[in-house]
Amino acid sequence: MPNLRVISLSRNRLTGSIPIDSLACCAHLRMLCLDGNRFDFSVDSLDQVLDYLEGRLGKTAMISL
């Protein structure tokens, strides 16, 4: 999946944690939409997830959780 540019899994009632490590192979990812799900994380871990994704995907990526 190295050429994958968009992942949209919004409003699917997904639970658990966000599979951040799985996104590491998506070097060209520019849009990640995961809103409308039921992921488990605290405010601190959400900040860590966003920091990681922004660092990994770049400042131009769109992230919606």
| Domains of the chain by residue range | 6-64
Positive/negative CA dihedral, 34, 40, 42, 46: negative
Q: Which of 11-15, 40-44, 48-52, 59-63 has the highest mean pLDDT?
A: 11-15
31-54 tens-digit pLDDT: 888 888 888 766 566 677 777 777
**What is residue 2's predicted lDDT score, i.e. its pLDDT?**
74
Q: Output the average pLDDT for the chain.
A: 76
Tell which wins on pLDDT, 34 or 20. Answer: 34
- Spatial CA neighbour of 28 closest among 6, 49, 8: 6
CA distance 38 to 33: 13
Alpha-carbon distances of 58 from 12, 15, 38, 41, 61, rounded to whole Å: 25, 25, 25, 22, 6
pTM here is 0.66
